[in-house]
Chain A
Amino acid sequence: MKKLNRREFVKLAGLAGGYALWPPKLGVAGRDALWPQKLGVVGDIIEGITGFNPTKPSGALEPIPGVKFGMVIDLDRCIGCRRCSYACSRENNVPDIISPPYITLFETESVTGISGIYHPTETPGAGTTMMYTKLRKDKWYMPVQCNHCDDAPCVQVCPTGATYKAPDGIVMINYDKCIGCRYCMVACPYQARRFNWFHTGFTPKCRIRIEIH
């Protein structure tokens, strides 16, 4: 093997260090360009073990140009039935065994303003006796969920770019990139990120656009 002299060694070390600290380009497309396209079998093996291939589409439909989504909840009409929580956890594969369930519902005394998590033992769903009217007239209910923040802390901290802000305003997640570090969960001020503790090891979340299409 040819021995490196000092000059060559410094050059090589500089190149390696430069790659390590080279700031990746912003945007999903730019980041994907870093992935060596012609890895062939090696790339297949890496994908087989890690399930990761950035050239694969995220599974989400493309955003419609000129459309900006938002979600509004009319708290005057919320009766605390937790159907939204039930539907969301099933649609997005969020386990509801680890309390409190997602979407978290807060119950507030209308007079004193004292609030707490509303989590009765009876779970709404098929075969339950849950009523579709507000049972307690003196209570107010407030669901707390992902607000798809404009300056979302979870997007900022996600190391792999799995959680990202789409041009149509939705905070999306690409499950093929999530490593399950839960950095987004500690960063979220609404505690609105959940983890799939028992199956996938991802942090599932609502991706409004997919449900709408």
Chain B
Amino acid sequence: MKDAGNSALASMKKAHIAFYLILAILLVLITWGGYSWVRIMFIDGVGITGSSDLVPWGIYIVGFVFFVGTSAGASLVGLMIHGFGRKDYEPLGTRAILVGFLSLLAAVLFLMSDVGNPFRAVLLPAVLRNPTSMLVYTSITYVGFAALMLAELFFAVKITLKGGKGSHWDEKMAQVLAVGALLFALMVVHAPHGALFAFLKAREMWNTPLLPAHFVAVALASGIAVIIHITIVTSKITKKEIVSKETLSHMGGLLAFFLGITLFMDFFDYLVMSYSGKPGGLEIWHFLTTDFYFFFLINTIGMFSAMVILLFKRGRNITGLFIASNVTILAILSYRWNLIVVAQIPPLFPGTGNLYYTPTVPEVAVVVGIVALISFLYLVLTTVLPMEETVQEN
């Protein structure tokens, strides 16, 4: 353990000056976000955010939903290594778990920024539990998922420290945890996360049985897109190939598959609504394409174009993958914005006109602060923890 500590310190000392500069900038952003959080929570009140009584949920819930989704990437990489036995994914294992864990941390921080009484909300999974509320079950599963990922991270690091070959017990635990985490993620985290919204019968855009399945597909797409993005950027900066081009291309194929499923669901949702003439459901589709067409276009065209790029083998080179993963991240952010904010815009009473929501500066500062915090933790932890990044001989 002492050796591990020393090597961690040594790797921090070896880091380039630009690395410390980035950390310093992130620290400034974290301080800005932290100050705004204190202002919102304890000095001025939640009223200085853009949310209002008729649009109660804003950009924090958008961030919360997005980051819960991206945590799925860790489970997918875990499945590739332990479920399908793809050894070429192994160099990514620890990094993917770390990204998943930090995504979940960001999601919880977003939730803690949104509620009026964050200190009391911490008690939610343990004590305050109303059995008919989906938020109770999802909060319990976030804690469970975070614990599973921490355990996965522990064994992954332990195995790496032993030179990539752990004891039989360690290997077995890593495998059981990885497969368990995937099942847990899909069945208990992402699908109920969709149900959190789907159960609300007052909101036409949310109240559809398709939403839990849609959430799973979108979560997997955003998770793998973030992993592709991080892998390519890290390879460029460190000038080391983390995984081979074939593995990256395989990840691109997976991304295309999940994007395809998402678009397929959207297409048939629209088709069923228009064929059966269900007024409420169809109205939402028209609502998205008229008044709020901008985010809708980024969402659909973004997902479609990323899928088209990735469907061709030639598109799955480094440049193609980089473009497609970034476009996917942007498209899914737009989708989350549509889902959370735009869904609250249609008036529930006739004649009241469309509602509005614009995030305020302190609110954006908290968002920037949370993203800066997880970036900071990611940079420090990937430097300190052993990441096992060597290209496998094929």
Contacts and interface: CB of A to CB of B under 8 A. Distances in A.
A181 B52 contact: no
Interface stretch (B8-16, B134-142, B287-295, B326-334): B134-142
Contact of A185 (B56, B139, B143): B56
Contact of A183 (B119, B128, B135, B349): B135
Contacts of B116: 178-182, 195-196, 200-202
Q: How many A residues touch the partner, as a band?
A: 35 or more
17 contacts: A20-B140, A31-B130, A50-B120, A51-B120, A52-B123, A95-B47, A97-B47, A114-B351, A153-B201, A156-B132, A179-B116, A180-B117, A181-B114, A182-B51, A182-B114, A191-B348, A202-B116
B53 A161 contact: no
B320 interface: no
Nearest to B196: A183
Contacts of B129: 24, 31, 34, 159-161
A159 B123 contact: no
Interface string A175-200: 00111111101111111001111111
Contact of A21 (B52, B120, B140): B140
B279 interface: no
A195 B56 CA distance: 8
A141 interface: no
Given A20-B143, A186-B200, A197-B46, A50 B131 contact: no
Given A155-B132, A191-B53, 11 more contacts: A24-B131, A50-B117, A116-B353, A144-B349, A157-B133, A157-B199, A157-B200, A181-B115, A185-B56, A191-B54, A198-B46
A187 to B, nearest CB: 5
Contacts of B54: 100, 191
A102 interface: yes
Given A116-B352, A179-B124, A180-B46, A49 B130 contact: no
A158 interface: yes
B350 A23 contact: no
Nearest to B44: A198
A117 B54 CA distance: 13
Interface residues of B, number: 49
Contact of A20 (B52, B123, B144): B144
Interface in A30-62: 31, 34-35, 46, 49-52, 54
Among B117, B125, B129, the one with the most A-chain Cβ atoms within 10 Å of its Cβ is B117
Nearest to A31: B129
A156 B201 CA distance: 11
A121 interface: no
Nearest to B347: A191
A181 B135 contact: yes
Given A115-B351, A153-B200, A159 B344 contact: no
A-B CB proximity, top 5 nearest? A180-B116, A201-B116, A197-B47, A160-B128, A198-B45
A190 B123 CA distance: 30
Contacts of B200: 153, 157, 186-187
Given A50-B117, A160-B128, A200-B116, A115 B53 contact: no
Nearest to B121: A179
A201 B117 contact: yes
B381 to A, nearest CB: 25
B202 interface: yes
A160 B140 CA distance: 13
A186 to B, nearest CB: 6
Contact of A195 (B46, B144, B201): B46
B339 to A, nearest CB: 12
A114 B199 CA distance: 31
Contacts of A102: 53
B53 A177 contact: no
Contacts of B130: 24, 31, 158-161
A21 B143 CA distance: 12
Contacts of B202: 153, 186-189
Interface in A100-122: 100, 102, 106, 114-117
A208 interface: no
A85 to B, nearest CB: 13
A55 B139 CA distance: 23
A199 B349 CA distance: 29
Contacts of A179: 115-117, 120-121, 124, 128
Nearest to A48: B119
B46 A159 contact: no
B214 interface: no
Contacts of B199: 157
Interface in B125-167: 125, 127-136, 139-140, 143-144
Contact of B56 (A23, A95, A97, A182): A182
A98 interface: yes
Among A6, A49, A201, the one with the most B-chain Cβ atoms within 10 Å of its Cβ is A201
Contacts of B134: 157
B57 interface: yes
